[in-house]
Amino acid sequence: MATIEIPLCSYCSHEIPTRSPGRPGRPRRFCSDYCRKAAYRARRRRTLEPALAFTYELPALPPTPSPDELTVHAVLEARGAAATLARLVPVVRRDFSWRCERAAAHIARSIDDCFPGV
């Protein structure tokens, strides 16, 4: 007695719909595009998990700077901005030249007034 083999989906184990006669191609493994994509995602997840499973020792965080150190850092950055603007005066367009010179002077004067000696 001959047995009839019913193809089942490799992902969900439901019956795979039969292909129309005369249609060429490999035998189908999945019942739908959804199962085909889900199986791909599952295979990919299995291959990526071992790579993500290792533990990584994080380096110790540097000590948090004090507010005074942050202030000094900000003042030095402002002085650097003023110096950069002053260096741009001879090379930028005339429209920007006077503005760079004026901004550099204002920043430098403000820093000197508020933070003398820094």
pLDDT digit string, tens, across residues 14-37? 888 887 778 888 888 999 999 999
Residue 102: per-residue pLDDT: 94
pLDDT confidence band for 52 (50 / 70 / 90): low
Comparing 2 with 86, the larger pLDDT belongs to: 86
Cα–Cα distance between 36 and 80 in angstroms, integer?
59
Here the tokens at position 25 are 């191609």
